[in-house]
Amino acid sequence: MPRHASGTLYMSMMGKQQESIAEANRAYQLDPLSPIVAFRVGAVHLWARQYDEGIAACKKVLNDNSTFAAAHRCIGDGYWGKRMYPQVIEEWKAFAKLAGEPSESEFASALDEGFRSAGWKEALTKGIEVRVAQRKTGYFSAYEIAAMYADLGDKDKAFQWLDTAYQERDWLLMGLTADYPFDSLRSDPRFAELVKKVGLPQ
C-alpha cells in the first residue's frame, strides 16, 4: 500500500479520517500542481475506506503526471479494498514498470501467476513467498506481509508477522486500527494486546 509519511496520512492512520481528508483538500487547494499533494488526497480517502474517491483522486494524478509511479499503487490499493483483484495486479505491474523496481516486478508477476493458477488466495500465497524471500537480501515491511496473511485468513501467521513488525519498529503499525486487511483480526484478544503495546488509542 502507498504509505508516504505526512501529517495528513498520520492523522488518517490514527483513525482521524475526516480531519485528514479536510487537511489534504486544503493542501491541494494551496498547491494543486503538486503530484505529491494530489496523491495524498487519494491516499487519505483510501484510509477512510472511501475507495472510489481515492481511486478517482489518484487517477487524476496520473492524468496530470503520467510517470508518477506511486499513483498506480494508490489505485491498486483502492481496487484491493473493493476486491477487484485483476485490477490490483494490473496496477501493481504498472507501478513496478514506472518505478523501475525489480523487487516490485517480481512481486507483481507472482500475484499474476498465482491468480491465473488458482485465484486470489494463490496470488497472496505466491506474493508472500516472494516478499519473505526478498527480506533475506534487503528490507521489506513485516507489516505488509502480515496484512497479506490476514487477507489470506491465516491469523496466526498474521500475528507472527505483526510481532516482527513491532520488534522492527515498523512505522506502518500506526495504521493498525484503521487498515482494512486486519478487520478479520479485530475480535482476537491478541489484536487488542498489540494495539495496547504499540500505544494506539483503542
pLDDT tens column, 32-50: 556 777 788 888 888 888 9
Q: Where in the chain is the domain with CATH 1.25.40.10?
A: 1-84
Q: What are phi and psi of 38, to 5 degrees?
A: -65, -40
- Domain 1-84 indexed as CATH 3.30.450.20: no
Q: Distance between CA 39 and CA 57 in Å, rounded?
A: 7
How many CB atoms are located within 10 Å of the residue 161 CB? Answer: 25
Name the pLDDT band for 7 (thresholds 50, 70, 90). very low
Tell me the HSE value of 13 on the side-chain side, using a 13 A CA sphere. Answer: 20
C-alpha span between 116 and 24 (Å, rounded): 38
CA distances (Å), origin 202, targets 105, 116, 166, 186, 199: 37, 40, 17, 11, 9
* Distance separating alpha carbons of residues 88 and 73, to the nearest angstrom: 8
Indicate the pTM of the whole model: 0.85
